A and B are shown apart, each in its own frame.
Chain A
Amino acid sequence: MLLRHTPKEVKEREGLTINPAKTCQPIGAMYAALGIHGCLPHSHGSQGCCSYHRSTLTRHYKEPVMAATSSFTEGASVFGGQANLLQSIETIFAVYDPDIIAVHSTCLSETIGDDLQQITKKAKDDSKIPEGKYVIYASTPSFIGSHITGYANMVTGMAEQFSVSTGEKKDQVNIVAGWMEPSDMREIKDISKAMGAKIVLFPDTSDVLDAPQTGKHEIYPKGGVTVEELKSTGDSKCSLALGCISAEPAAIALDKKHKVPFETLDMPIGLSATDRFIMSLSKAAGVKVPAEITAARGRLVDVMADMEQYFHGKKVALFGDPDQLIPLVEFLLDLNMKPVHIVSGTPGQRFEKRMKEVLVRAPGANFKNGLNADMFLLHQWIKNEPVDLLIGNTYGKYIARDEDIPFIRFGFPILDRIGHSYFPNVGYNGALRLVEKILSVLMDRQDRTALEEKFELVM
């Protein structure tokens, strides 16, 4: 048992994080930047950061991930990284020819005190940015927040730095995607299309990190939100932010800069959150809910009804990222399941508050986020109150194996299964997929452990 050292007794820890349920900001910024068409993410720091982020994204998506690095040296750490970044901008435009460079900082460049805004301005003043090309930036110190914070910061950066208002409103709605999979972004676009709603979705990693085999290595795959679309976000009627942590800051930025009003929604995972999303989109875009969406909802409710006896009272432990956990917990409650332990390494009072609202229906549930909210703590909680199901990223497999708990992979990173980049978790179809997954692992368990006389053919 790999986790044999985990004691049942929970003690206050002063410093240490054991088996984290988060990672650092820059990888989130890199992921977000990949959702812009023709964009090369750039890591302003040591070479290792960029290498680790690319490797992790590649392990999760089984796709090549392109990003450049400032390749810091000792010199840069003494004299500042301005020269490295200016050199980088020059090299990148000359060699890799992107339309956009999206620069994010690291703990190193932040601690040195590099000011990305000032350096990119200098690059512009020194004519290092070719005509019609762009450099955007986001400050993403690794010692604050988590990968989710980094994602939010880069998405905010793209909204703030690209959007313009022409004075003429456009008949379109901005949808700010919280950290979700390419498959989810594709589903959001499909739903909007089915409803006849004109939207600008950003970022959009579909057709970037789920690209087909073409026989070529495309530095800039066909997907991603375009510069034109990003510029137009300042003229949109309103914004829907899908996630109060990873998406809302960008919507706030557009409201501040161009008075684009916004509504913050939970990410549309599960029945209730999808209902709210559909109603909000229908209202915002001034479109009716078409029969095919209503039918998709009907199919989901039908399955939930057909199988309700199998969900009742099943205890669930979850870990992962805020904007996914909130609606997921709500969906489990809608299924009559019992979320009992919830852990997220991402800090923040906003997250805490929203999760507590959802958890009103689950009295006594353990919930912790931020410092020391790690997989070690989750394991200890599970030892004290065992569960029937574990939901989270690949790192849950250690606990699942040691405690013999049915396990569904959900979140980031998923290093040992496929599917997450191709099949959505959002919308009614995503919810149906989740229901299928939950039922499958619970029933597989029942089939495996049932006494012979209780081994059922029809379930």
Chain B
Amino acid sequence: MAEMIGILEGREGQVYEKRQDGPEIDIACDTKSLSGSVSQRACVFCGSRVVLYPVADAIHIVHGPIGCAAYTWDIRGAVSSGPELHRLSFSTDLQEMDVIYGGEKKLYRSLVELIDQYQPNAAFIYSTCIIGLIGDDIDAVCKKVAKEKGIPVMPVHSEGFKGTKKDGYKAACSALMKLIGTGPTEGISKYSINILGEFNLAGEAWIIREYYEKMGIEVVATMTGDGRIDAIRRSHGASLNVVQCSGSMTSLAKDMEEKYGIPYIRVSYFGFEDMSKSLYDVAALFPDRPEIMKRAKEIVRDEIRKYYPEMQKFKAALTGKKAAIYVGGAFKTFSLIKALRTIGMSVVLAGSQTGNKDDYRRLKEMCQEGTVIVDDSNPVELSKFVLEKEADLLIGGVKERPIAFKLGVGFCDHNHERKIPLAGFVGMYNFAKEVYESVMSPVWQFAPRKGGLR
């Protein structure tokens, strides 16, 4: 296959095309990107920052030179219903002298200034690359400030080079673990959950929370969408952790299971199928109160009844169209394949930045003949496959959007920059509508690929 489409040298193991007569190989993943590649991946800091970012009543200080703070300033549409401290950018803006003599004092002073001024409920301190080199003891600074100011001050060990984005998720989870268990759990219902791995992009966590609450379940904390420190501190009082998103928060769920004996399940809120399942799966774990399942069924019935007929016009137009998917986590890919099927579309390319072996094995099972599966892809490869497989739609994030538009195919942002909620039943409707509007846009008929000047 490598010759057929001319994929990049050294990447053969990370690209796979499903064919009946093809070899049964495991896709190479969990590998470091080759030095010199144009990878769409990010770093440890990025992973930590996206996970903790939505905690809205904490201050988030980036300890390092200015860039890391500047590039992550309010770029994630994680909505808050109250405080919005997370949308500001705080940096110790390290200079050459700080690099030579250390930045601890500057960090200490910055923290004190900030806490006095903003009166946050907690502070997160992110280590960037050079902190790992100059050896600032940020744990000690955090401890000192926490004591002086009486709020939790959490170091986040997110030096960019110390692994991949996934390691950043872990560092964020360990910071959260330090908070969990420090708040009171009195009055928390036995029928209670935490929502993990849901970041409230475009208000999605609110939609999900409402479903569970309608079922009669108490939501103790959402982590971290519309997140609040006090809720996180008492989240060990919940009976169940409901984890979305493959990589980002599974480690926290595991840690909470170990330390507090809270079981967890993995869910997805994208598409009717997975959304319904995520309500049923939770209800099934509270069998002693059958009305929870009853209400879950009612919600599913009412919601699908509300949106399904509306979606038929999209399906009629989109049936037979082809999609390419390249997103951060593989778990999302599974849901997207199912969601696309609901609206009549097939998937010709599926890939992720950070999938693991199990993910890709499952992807292979789900995909049809001829689907290309990629790990840690790049623009050249993506555009080749989109063109060769004649995709009508690319689903991806900020760096993929202009590629789709340059090629003249539709695009749907399934990352930080989504503008409307895509989770929940209403989210499936929104997704179908957005895909319909983009794929069927009249603009593509003017594209040079379709004949150009007429």
Q: Residues of A with Cβ closer than 8 Å to B?
A: 2-3, 5, 7, 13-20, 22-27, 40, 42, 45-56, 58-59, 61-74, 76-77, 84-85, 87-92, 94-96, 106-108, 111-112, 141-144, 146, 211, 213-219, 345, 371, 395
Contacts and interface: CB of A to CB of B under 8 A. Distances in A.
B214 to A, nearest CB: 31
Contact of B35 (A3, A66, A87): A87
A42 B405 CA distance: 24
Contacts of B162: 74
A229 to B, nearest CB: 26
B54 to A, nearest CB: 15
A214 B66 CA distance: 37
B118 A5 contact: yes
Interface of B: 8-10, 32-46, 61, 64-73, 75, 84-85, 87-96, 98-99, 105-107, 109-110, 113-114, 117-118, 128-130, 132-134, 160-164, 379-380, 383, 387, 398-399, 401-403, 405-408, 447-450
Given A20-B70, A48-B44, A111-B133, A69 B113 contact: no
A107 B65 contact: yes
Contact of B399 (A5, A47, A58): A58
A141 B98 CA distance: 13
Contacts of A112: 133
A91 B98 contact: no
A89 B68 CA distance: 26
Contacts of B113: 13-16
Nearest to A94: B9
Given A48-B160, A58-B399, A216-B406, A108 B10 contact: no
Contacts of A59: 75, 398
A65 B217 CA distance: 46
Contacts of A106: 129
A5 B113 CA distance: 13
A328 B356 CA distance: 52
Given A26-B67, A70-B36, A217-B403, 10 more contacts: A24-B65, A48-B44, A51-B42, A52-B67, A69-B39, A77-B129, A84-B35, A92-B36, A141-B65, A142-B67
Nearest to A18: B90
A85 B430 CA distance: 45
A54 to B, nearest CB: 6
21 contacts: A15-B105, A15-B113, A17-B92, A17-B93, A48-B43, A51-B42, A52-B46, A52-B67, A55-B71, A58-B401, A59-B398, A63-B402, A69-B36, A73-B163, A87-B35, A107-B129, A111-B130, A214-B406, A216-B406, A216-B407, A218-B406
B162 to A, nearest CB: 6
Given A22-B70, A47-B39, A111 B134 contact: yes
Contacts of A42: 36
A17 B34 CA distance: 35
Given A64-B379, A111-B99, A215-B449, A52 B66 contact: no
A219 B380 contact: yes
B42 A47 contact: yes
Nearest to A53: B71
A282 B39 CA distance: 46
Given A48-B46, A108-B160, A15 B66 contact: no
A71 B161 CA distance: 8
Contact of B36 (A19, A89, A211, A215): A89
Nearest to B133: A111
A88 B406 contact: no
Nearest to A69: B39
A217 B114 contact: no
Contacts of B163: 73-74
Nearest to A70: B35
Contacts of A73: 32, 161, 163
Contacts of A214: 406, 448
Contacts of B69: 17, 20
Contacts of A143: 65, 94-96, 98-99, 130
Contacts of A19: 73, 88-89
A47 B109 contact: no
Contact of B37 (A27, A55, A91): A91
A215 B408 contact: yes
Contact of A69 (B37, B72, B88, B450): B37
Contacts of A69: 33, 35-39
B406 A213 contact: yes
A183 to B, nearest CB: 17
A10 to B, nearest CB: 12
B109 A16 contact: yes
Contacts of B89: 18-20
Given A24-B67, A111-B134, A215-B447, A15 B160 contact: no
Nearest to B118: A5
A56 to B, nearest CB: 6
B379 A16 contact: no
Nearest to A93: B36
A395 B380 CA distance: 32
A23 B114 contact: no
Contacts of A85: 35
A107 B43 contact: no
Contact of A72 (B67, B96, B161): B161
A19 B91 CA distance: 8
Nearest to B61: A16
A139 to B, nearest CB: 12
A268 to B, nearest CB: 28
Contacts of B68: 24, 48, 52
Which 4 pairs across A and B sit closest by C-beta, in order of nearness? A48-B43, A24-B67, A215-B449, A91-B36
B132 to A, nearest CB: 7
A90 B114 CA distance: 46
Contacts of A51: 39-43, 46, 399
B313 to A, nearest CB: 28
Contacts of A71: 32-37, 39
B37 A216 contact: no
Nearest to B71: A52
Contacts of B91: 16-17, 20
Which of B128, B133, B161 has the most chain A CB atoms closer than 10 A to its own CB? B161
B407 A88 contact: no
Contacts of B46: 48, 51-52
Which of B65, B85, B88 has the most chain A CB atoms closer than 10 A to its own CB? B65
Contact of A95 (B37, B61, B118, B383): B37
B446 to A, nearest CB: 9
Contact of B88 (A18, A67, A215): A18
B417 to A, nearest CB: 8
B447 A107 contact: no
A46 B38 contact: no
A55 B114 contact: no
A24 B66 contact: yes
A15 B161 contact: no
A56 B75 CA distance: 10
Nearest to B67: A24
A74 B450 CA distance: 48
A77 B132 contact: yes
Which of A14, A25, A48, A144 has the most chain B CB atoms closer than 10 A to its own CB? A48
Contacts of B92: 15-17
A53 B34 CA distance: 19
Contacts of B96: 141, 143-144
A345 B41 contact: no
Contacts of A62: 401-402, 405
B172 to A, nearest CB: 14
Contacts of B401: 58, 62
B67 A5 contact: no
Nearest to A89: B36
A111 B131 CA distance: 10
Nearest to A375: B89
A96 B38 contact: yes
A74 B161 contact: yes
A96 B7 CA distance: 11
